[in-house]
Amino acid sequence: MLKNNANFYHTLHEQVALGLQEKEQEAAEKENGIDVLRQKLIAQHAQGIVLETCVGTNPNRKYYDDSKIRKLIGLDWVQANISKAQIMADKQGGMTILNCDIHQTPFSPESFDTVVDTFGLECCYNIE
């Protein structure tokens, strides 16, 4: 059952990523104050070795305080997102982007000081 859900969600998010209008999304988030919440969450809590799950196109990179971050890793399972996220990571530096399903990461839970997830839970097919 979970494997079928995973395939469904992966296909859905690949289609969304391919059609994503980033400027429209940015405007909607700004209008609803989501950008401020993202910035506050990340600036206040992200430190040490950080994993950002469901990194998407990497809109949060600009909110990290590099002086608090030892290592920053972003995961996503949608190739269209990975490509866009890597462009942003290359521009701002200091972030490793991996193509990975968060249910099958190569990391142990103890590997990170902070885990960031903004709007990623809807991508999970098994939230346990």
> Does the residue 119 lie in any domain?
yes
Domain that holds residue 46: 2-123
Quick check: is 44 in a domain?
A: yes
Confidence of residue 64 (pLDDT cuts 50, 70, 90): very high
pLDDT score of 52 more than 80: yes
What is the average pLDDT score of the chain?
Answer: 81
pLDDT at 2: 45
What pLDDT score does 111 carry?
A: 95
Q: How many structural domains does the chain have?
A: 1
Cβ atoms of 112 and 104 closer than 8 Å: no
Question: Per the domain annotation, does 36 fall within a domain?
Answer: yes
Can you tell me the distance from the alpha carbon of 29 to that of 101, in angstroms, rounded to the nearest whole number? 25
Element (H, E) at 92: helix 79-92
pLDDT at 87 (0 to 100):
87
* CATH number, position 61: 3.40.50.150
In a domain, 128, yes or no: no
